[in-house]
Amino acid sequence: MGSKVSGFLKKYMMLIALVAVVIFFNFATGGKALYPQNITNLIAQNAYVFVLATGMLLCILTGGNIDLAVGSVVCFAGGVGAIMMDKNIPWPVAVVTMLVMGLLIGMWQGFWIAFVKVPPFIATLAGMLAFRGLSNVVMGGFAYSVTDTTYLNVFGGGADCYIPDFLAGVGPATSLNKFCLVTGIVFAIAIVVYTIFNRSYLRKHDYKLQPLFTEILKTVIICAAIVWLFYKLSCYKGIPTAFIWIGFILGIFAYITTKTTLGRNLYAVGGNEKATRLSGINTKMVMFKAYTLMGLLAGFAGVLNTARFVGAQPTYGTGYEMDAIAACFIGGASAYGGTGSIGGVIIGALMMGVINQGMDIMGTSSNYKLIVKGLVLMFAVFFDVIMKVRRKGGAKA
Amino acid sequence: MAKVLLEMKNITKTFPGVKALDNVNLKVEEGTIHALVGENGAGKSTLMNVLSGVYPFGTYEGDIVYNGNVCQFHNIKDSEKEGIVIIHQELALIPYMTIGENMFLGNERGKKFCIDWNKTYSEADKYLKIVGLSDSSKTLIKDIGTGKQQLVEIAKALAKNAKLLILDEPTSSLNETDSKALLDLMLEFKKQGMTMIIISHKLNEVSYVADHITIVRDGSTIETLDCKEDDISEDRIIKGMVNRDMTDRFPKRHDVEIGDTQLEVKDWTVYHPEFTERKVVDGVSMNVKKGEVVGIYGLMGAGRTELAMSIFGRSYGIGISGTLKLGGKEVILKSPKQAIEHHLAYVTEDRKGNGLVLTNSIKHNTSLANLKGLSKNLVIDKDKEYAVAADYASKLKTKTPSVEQLVGNLSGGNQQKVLLAKWMFADPDVLILDEPTRGIDVGAKYEIYCIINDLVAAGKSVIMISSELPEVIGMSDRIYIMNEAKIVGEIKASEATQENIMSFIVKSGKED
Amino acid sequence: MNNYSVKNVLKKNTMIIVMFIVYIFFAVMTHGNIFYASQFTALITQNAYVFVLGTGMLMCMLTGGNIDLSVGSFVCFIGAIAGVFSVLKNVNTPLSLLIVLGVGILYGVLLGYLIAYLNIPPWIATLAGYLAFRGAGTEILTKVSTTSAISDFPEPLLKMFSGRVFETSSGVLNIPCLAVGVAAIVLVVVNNYRSRNAKFKKGYETEPMGYVHAKSILEAGIIGLLTFKFAMDGGIPVVLIWVVAIMLIYNFICEKTVIGRHFMTVGGNAETARLSGINNKVVMFVAYLNMSILTVIASLMVTARFKAANSFAGQNFEMDAISACIVGGVSAYGGSGTVFGMAIGAALIGIINLGMSLMGIDQNWQKVVKGGVLLAAVVFDIWTKKNSGKK
């Protein structure tokens, strides 16, 4: 039973910590941290953290493996995309190119790691150097700006990267973005409806049910959080398009990790590689897929990043791998693999985002930000290790 | 005669340099339990790995005829499709996943892109009931004991619609009660028409459940006995397994005078390092005298290794209590280093994992536990090191071109000799040998026995842990019998028989 | 089985041969520019830090493929600390050195404790350091100077870590340098024959005499060439002394002492090491403490070379050190690797960098090539091990 209590604590500790950090910054900035504009920016600025951390989670699950090359890949893919658009190639072609590049890079690294057994940190270290160099080469040291407004609006850059208020003319006149607000409310209702249906489905099939009180409490908290978030967004300019993309990516990968065999296999490989192999699973292929998906997501982060910065520069993406890795560990992924979740990634990425932004608003120098990030990472891993007292190799029964 | 479900014809499997299987033939009738017995390394597990597709079609010669068809299994999935499911000796479970998740790993319920978790858990519960487990399928594997984990493995196999279930040493890590329950479960499955192959070295279990017994020796099938018709006494089977009578398996001990007590433990209790409430050694008291070989017999999981390692500088377990006396003086050894300094040596059962550095040379491995004896001011005298290693290699008849050879390239028996050399060089008074002959061939075993005799002749004391009864009886002066963390009996070797030793264990099981 | 057949000797020294080929390649491509005396000096002064950090990294990697990602940031941080004390606070040089060494030891103890005793995976613990020290170093430098750099280091400090011994002007033959070179040649050659003789007397397997002759001639030739080049370019660079001293000390530790054996064993099989009476935790602790101390030395070398502490100092140094180890045949899984191998790796990377710079290839392609070399080295290592069936 002791493990259950610690399991509960581990699961919600970081959420509690996140709330504490938000409250701290809210006081420290005199309430500015929770201004609608800042909440909007928090999401838009940290879109890449969410996307990269999702990919990094897949790699970490397979046994604490990481990808150090993602920052360089974001820069490389973004750079190529920006150059293409600069040469008046239509933006959909550029986007597809960026994604395909990410995918190919992922496959390249995955090949060495999974099939040749090159240690991941070395293979991706090589990638980190090589793709940073290549970005410089293709951009020739110059910055490219992107002017295609459709591209910018769709992927969360420029001034108008928000879902327009389709309901502006309906109902009473207000400064709020009504579409955004309504979306939030619809979302909350959908969750409530789903919960009710799911419960009755479970009851019908005699499956185990959660206690009613816990379920109601959980649903209320989630719905309140959603409505609050969308209210804040509607106070500014509405739903940022980047937010849609984040939701989309997180949704897909939450599904993959919890509901598909690939997801299962990722956890299994990290939990006990030999046992997984003996269960008839091709563990090399699992590893290969993890890095391939990581590459694809890095390509997509390149798309978002290029839009966000309205262009590309050879220095973009530096240190992104650290943000992604830190977000995973803060979100409770084990440094030895086998445990971690998309929910955790969200919390971890938000934590990194809140710290980034809170310190920005407080006017702290970027150097302190690095120091704090380092300490937060240390703390998160420390916590993980302490909670788990899991020694490598373990003792035999 | 019942229908033959499986026939393996002329199976030959070679690894680089070794012929692991040589023209093996095996026939298994439907609805029976077929036992494969043989010494460690005889090729039982290799044969089953061929059958289950771990070694894919094309890497071996010969045919597998299953249900009347010649089969070509390219991977584990192929054989599982046909209903052939193997449960490996080393459990294939993932500690941080739930029972349900483990049970359907690689065999998920629902569609490939949409696992149905509700169905998964409710089906898992159903199978758990069949194998008699009452735990929830949402319990994490790490939170249940080995006995239950074994049952989860069986439930996992059932969930794959197993028609032919292969169990590789299923009771090796179980206690007597759990083992009995498992064997009864097998008999129950047989009644329902399932076919099973059990690999085991415990002959009493084999004769309890099996309908047929096939003996494997040195990569070949020697004979198949029918339990109803043939003589299946242990002597008969052992003779088949080792191809020699038991009388000359052990070298004669020279007349050794047994002296004073060299090592003594009293009320020694050790707790499990992770499951901190579980006692792995419970109030053990024992001693060994100068010039004496003391055997510790017990099944795997009885706490023998744990006892030895906790004595050896507390290298295993937590909450260790009790007294340890060396040469009559009480000592507290807090680390392997201190243990070595007090002339204690522990020769591990797991030579590849815990005993040797496979990527290092014989020379470096030999000197490892006693670098102090070779160095001055931390600087190693390499000439002396070479001489010492070469000396032990010739004394122990290690077969190698030179002591610069990497240990990983040696055979099991020669690796064991290097391991012994390493600890002999550490100049111990007491050597604890944990399964010193595991996984090595009969000839090498004999040589190891000779080395043990030489050690006691030189006035050392030896504690020999073994799960092979004949070995314990043949080599020891005195035998302690361990079961479920306790010493349940002590007997002089001259009075010991396989029966009375086993009866200690059976009796202690009943008392609980 | 003849260990000294031409084929086996070549096989054993693949990386040295690769280094020569690469060198000749660049000699041709740069029309001999790389052969100028000044380029020899540049090769050493520009890459001295790689040798020092590579040595520290080697000790970490030996314990099981563990790395330290924080060395680059720590180089920057130590530079800043050194600047603050010796320049801004006018603390005298010996005391300043003690202070930075103290800071290095402090960090090493902390890092070692986290990794060895709290079981925090090394790359995470050092990743945190990577972030934190870059931030801290930059913060200090931007606070105290508008250019985010501290220059005007005192002369004694600079002299300890840069410049030349008994400097003469370029083009004039430097006599002390020649003397040292000749002494080194004599030492090496005498040692070759003596050790062979000793082996022969004790009846061990010995190299054939021809091999010893060839080896001695080759080694004498290389040392002679280097001596001559340095002598023509003002004398022995101070950092060379540091590098050679560190190499010799650590080579001795690794090859001949109990400590070195402990490092190898922990990396080869941690459990075996533990049960053989080795305290694995102490070994890990020492590896990271040692790394921090060597990082301090590397930092002082870099600071002295630029005559300033910069906020961008030390960027990617961890990569250089790791690459040197991997290219030099240090196992990425731990347990095997030599100081000499690492030095060859560092030299090879240095030659590639220098050669490409001389050819006018830009920095960016150099990064691509570096990445490629790193990957190729690991793959080569894995493949040769597979073929020899040792893994």
- All domains of chain B in start order, with CATH: 4-244 (3.40.50.300), 245-343+429-441+458-512 (3.40.50.300), 351-427 (no CATH)
Option in B96, B272, B273 nearest A339 (CB): B96
A residues 124-163 lying closer than 8 A (beta carbon) to C? 125-137, 141
Distance in Å, alpha carbon of B371 to nearest chain C alpha carbon: 6
C-alpha–C-alpha distance, residues A77 and A312, integer Å: 10
First vs last C-alpha separation in chain A = 20
Which residues are CB-neighbours of B280 under 8 A, at least 6 positions away?
Answer: A397, B270, B271, B272, B303, B306, B317, B485
Residues in B touching A282 (Cβ below 8 Å): 75
Percentage above 90 pLDDT, chain C: 35
Q: CB count, 10 Å around CB of B484?
A: 20
Paired with B7 in beta bridges are B27, B65
> Would you tell me which residues 45-64 of chain A have a C-beta closer than 8 angstroms to some C-beta of chain C?
64
Put simply, whether B376 touches C (Cβ < 8 Å) is no
Q: C166 and chain A: CB distance < 8 Å anywhere?
A: no
Interface test with chain C among A370, A379, A390, A396, by most C beta carbons within 10 Å: A370
Q: Is the Cβ of A344 closer than 8 Å to some Cβ of chain B? A: no
Residue bearing tokens 């430098």: C141
Per the structure block, which two tokens stand in for B398? 């290690």
Q: Is the pLDDT of residue A190 over 80?
A: yes
User: In sequence order, what E strands does B290-378 have?
Assistant: 293-297, 318-326, 329-331, 344-347, 375-376
Using an 8 Å Cβ cutoff, are C375 and A123 in contact?
yes
* Average pLDDT of every residue of chain B: 85
**How near does any CA of chain B get to the CA of C321, in Å?**
24
Report the pLDDT value the prediction gives residue A392, as an integer from 0 to 100: 34
pLDDT single digits (tens) A333-372:
887 788 889 998 999 999 888 888 888 888 888 788 888 8
If you average pLDDT over each of A6-20, C60-74, C189-203, C351-365, which comes out highest? C60-74
| CA-based nearest residue in chain C for residue B423 | C276
- The rounded distance, in Å, linking the Cα atoms of A376 and A355 is 10
C363 touches chain A (CB under 8 A): yes
pLDDT at C84: 92
Instruction: Say if residues B187 and B209 touch (Cβ distance below 8 Å).
Output: yes
Judge contact between C82 and C299, C-beta under 8 A.
yes
Report yes or no: B511 at the C interface, CB cutoff 8 Å: no
Using an 8 Å CB-CB cutoff, list chain A residues near B105. Answer: 264, 268, 276, 279, 281
Q: What average pLDDT does this structure show over A193-198?
A: 90
Angle (CA) B23-B26-B29 rounded to 5° is 165
- Is the pLDDT at B391 greater than 80? The verdict is yes
Measured CA distances, B323 to B264, B306, B310, B326, C275 (Å) = 8, 16, 12, 10, 21
Q: Residue C3: its pLDDT value, please?
A: 64
Which chain A residues are Cβ-neighbours of B301 within 8 angstroms? 397
State the pLDDT confidence band at A380, using cuts at 50, 70 and 90: confident
* pLDDT single digits (tens) A34-73: 888 888 888 888 899 999 999 999 999 998 888 989 999 9
Cβ neighbours of C324 in A, within 8 Å: none
A121 and C CB contact within 8 Å: yes
Band the pLDDT of C391: cuts 50, 70, 90. very low
Q: Hey, which chains touch B, using 3+ CB pairs under 8 Å? A: A, C
Summarised one tens digit per residue, pLDDT across range B397-418 is 888 888 888 888 887 788 999 9
Of residues B39 and C223, more confidence is placed in C223
Q: Which residues of A touch B96 (CB under 8 A)?
A: 271, 334, 338-339
Burial A233-249 (b: 16+ CB within 10 A, else e): bbbbbbbbbbbebbeeb
H-run or E-run covering C346: helix C339-358
- Which residue of A lies nearest to B80 if distances are taken between CA atoms? A280
State the nearest Cα–Cα gap between C278 and chain B, in angstroms.
7
How many whole angstroms separate alpha carbon A161 and alpha carbon A75?
21
- The type of residue at B150 is Q
User: Helix, strand or coil for residue B395?
Assistant: helix
Of the pLDDT bands very low, low, confident and very high (cuts 50, 70, 90), residue C83 is very high
* A251 or A278: which leads in pLDDT: A251
Identify which of C338, C316, C311 has the alpha carbon closest to the alpha carbon of residue C251: C338
d(CA C242, CA C223) in angstroms, rounded, equals: 17
* Single-letter amino acid, residue A123: A
For residues C102 and B193, what is the distance between their CA atoms, to the nearest angstrom?
Answer: 75
Tell me the pairing of strands B4-15 and B114-115. Answer: unpaired
8 Å CB contact of C258 and B335: no
Name, of A113-122, A209-218, C277-286, the range with top average pLDDT.
C277-286
Q: How far is C95 from chain A (nearest CA, A)?
A: 27
> Using CB atoms and an 8 Å cut-off, which of residues 186-215 of chain A contact chain C?
none
Residue C31 has phi, psi (to 5 degrees) of 50, 40
Separation CA C92–CA C96 (nearest Å): 6
- B378 touches C: beta carbon within 8 Å: yes
Smallest Cα distance from B389 to chain A, Å: 30
A373-396: burial string, b at 16+ Cβ within 10 Å, e else: bbebbbebbbbbbebbebeeeeee
Query: DSSP label at B82?
Result: T
pTM for the predicted model, two decimal places: 0.80
C387 touches chain A (CB under 8 A): no
A379 interfaces chain B, CB cutoff of 8 Å: no
Return phi, psi of residue A394, to 5°.
Answer: 60, 165
Q: Residue B507: how many CB atoms within 10 A of its CB? A: 12
pLDDT for residue C212 is more than 80: yes
Q: Which residues of B touch A394 (CB under 8 A)?
A: 274
pLDDT tens-place string over residues B361-385: 899 999 998 888 888 888 888 888 8
> C258 vs B372: CB contact, 8 Å cut-off?
yes
Based on C-alpha coordinates, what's the Rg of chain A? 22
What does pLDDT average to over chain A? Answer: 86
Between chains, do B115 and A258 touch, taking CB under 8 Å as contact? yes
Q: Between B252 and B79, name the one with better pLDDT.
A: B79
What's the rounded Cα separation, in Å, for the pair C342 and C325? 5
Q: Say what the pLDDT of residue B425 is.
A: 92
Q: Is residue A329 scored above 60 in pLDDT?
A: yes
Are the C-beta atoms of residues B263 and B326 closer than 8 Å to each other?
yes
Could you state, in order of their start, the residue ranges of all structural domains in chain C?
37-163+237-388
**Between B75, B274, B301, which is nearest A395 by CB?**
B274
Q: Does C142 touch chain A (CB under 8 A)?
A: yes
For range A268-272, the mean pLDDT: 88
Closest by Cα among B241, B275, B243, B297 to B476:
B297
Q: What angle do CA A327, A333, A339 make, to 5 degrees?
A: 155
For residue C6, the cross-strand partners are none
Q: Which site among B97, B149, B271 would you substitute to test the A interface, given the most A Cβ atoms closer than 10 Å to its Cβ? A: B97
Q: Which residue from C minimizes the CA distance to A375?
A: C128
Residue pLDDT, tens place only, B327-370: 889 999 988 999 999 999 999 988 888 888 888 889 999 999 88
Amino acid C252: pLDDT: 92
Is A119 in Cβ contact with C65 (below 8 Å)? yes
Angstrom distances, CA of residue A156 to CA of B33, B169, B297, C43: 66, 60, 71, 47
Write the ipTM.
0.78
The number of angstroms, rounded, from the C-alpha of B159 to the middle of its chain's C-alpha atoms is 28
CA distances from C42 to C26, C294, C351 (A): 15, 21, 10
- Beta bridge partners of residue B264, listed in sequence order: B287, B325
Q: Are B356 and B415 in contact (CB under 8 A)?
A: yes
Q: What is the distance between the alpha carbons of residues B104 and B57, in angstroms, rounded to a whole number?
A: 25
The answer to whether C276 faces chain A, any CB pair under 8 Å, is no
- Residues of chain A with C-beta less than 8 angstroms from the C-beta of C333: 119
**Cα A306 to Cα A146: distance, rounded to the nearest angstrom:** 8
Task: Read off the pLDDT of residues B477-502 as tens digits, 9 standing for 90 and up.
Answer: 999 999 888 899 899 988 888 778 87
- Eight-state DSSP code of residue B144: S
Q: What angle do CA B168, B173, B174 make, to 5 degrees?
A: 105
Q: Which of these CATH numbers, 3.30.1480, 2.60.120, 1.10.3470, 1.10.730, describes C37-163+237-388?
A: 1.10.3470
Whether A119 sits inside 8 A of C130 (CB atoms) is no
pLDDT of residue A393: 33
Q: Which residues of B touch A207 (CB under 8 A)?
A: 118, 121-122
Q: Which of B106, B122, B272 sits opposite A279 (nearest CB)?
A: B106
State yes or no: pLDDT of B246 exceeds 60.
no
What value does the mean pLDDT take over residues B96-114? 82
* Interface residue B371 vs chain C (CB under 8 A): yes
* CA pair distance A370, A270, nearest whole angstrom: 30
- Reply yes or no on whether the pLDDT at B244 is more than 80: no
pLDDT digits (tens, 9 = 90+) for B27-39: 999 889 999 887 6
Chain A, chain C: beta-carbon pairs less than 8 Å apart: 149
- Residue B481 CB coordination number (10 Å): 24
Distance from CA of B495 to the nearest CA of A (A): 32
| Longest CA pairwise span in chain B (Å) | 76
Q: Identify the closest residue of chain A to C66 by CA–CA distance.
A: A121
